[in-house]
A and B are shown apart, each in its own frame.
Chain A
Amino acid sequence: NAGVTQTPKFQVLKTGQSMTLQCAQDMNHEYMSWYRQDPGMGLRLIHYSVGAGITDQGEVPNGYNVSRSTTEDFPLRLLSAAPSQTSVYFCASSPTLSGTSVYEQFFGPGTRLTVL
């Protein structure tokens, strides 16, 4: 298994540009989520999904859009990039929604995004 993969690893955008960060997992996990990590802020949840066709907002959803058309993929879209979205973005997945397994998250390697 490749686990959780993210592309690209690095990206530089200009203000106002749009782009999609890709996330895929090959573990048949139901639960997927996107975080952003900023210095001194820990991880903050952007959006999450409990299965194909179902998404919901996290703590900091503004400026981001997600969809989940398949179990494997959970892309994150930046609609109009702003310098405040400069961050490291992590995708994570969990095996099930029942019991405590949902908390055992597997993280991708991250995408480092700079918005000029």
Chain B
Amino acid sequence: AQSVTQPDIHITVSEGASLELRCNYSYGATPYLFWYVQSPGQGLQLLLKYFSGDTLVQGIKGFEAEFKRSQSSFNLRKPSVHWSDAAEYFCAVGPSGGSYIPTFGRGTSLIVHP
């Protein structure tokens, strides 16, 4: 069975600082990998996705993520964080059996200090 681990429950950064959110996965084959963002009181929005090819993927809002097969990781990065980036971030891995649904991590809450 596939699984996703986000080791950090909370991350605090200063506005303008760089950001890296960690994600490790367990899956028997080449995974599909995703990052979603959830702003307060909102549903989830897809930030970026990896299916195959270039291991460095670009997403919306200036985010990028790098797939590292040797480390089973798909960490999310942003070079300069804005106050509006404060949100909950979820890593997900798919496919999930026959359900076509990714398995989600427990989430990392990003706090941005001015």
Contact = CB atoms under 8 A, between A and B. Distances in A.
Interface of A: 4, 31, 33, 40-45, 48, 50, 56, 58, 90, 92, 94, 97, 100, 102-105, 107-110
B51 A100 contact: yes
Contact of A100 (B32, B101, B104, B105): B32
B106 interface: yes
B44 interface: yes
A43 B38 CA distance: 12
Contact of A40 (B49, B99, B102, B106): B106
A110 B96 CA distance: 23
Would you call the interface of chain B mostly helix, strand, loop, or mixed? loop
A44 to B, nearest CB: 8
15 contacts: A33-B101, A40-B9, A43-B44, A45-B96, A48-B100, A50-B100, A90-B44, A94-B100, A97-B100, A102-B100, A103-B32, A105-B46, A109-B41, A109-B43, A110-B42
A41 B106 contact: yes
B20 to A, nearest CB: 20
Closest 10 CB pairs of A and B: A107-B43, A42-B104, A42-B106, A43-B104, A107-B44, A102-B100, A100-B51, A109-B43, A108-B43, A45-B101
B67 interface: no
A36 to B, nearest CB: 11
Contact of B49 (A31, A56, A92, A103): A103
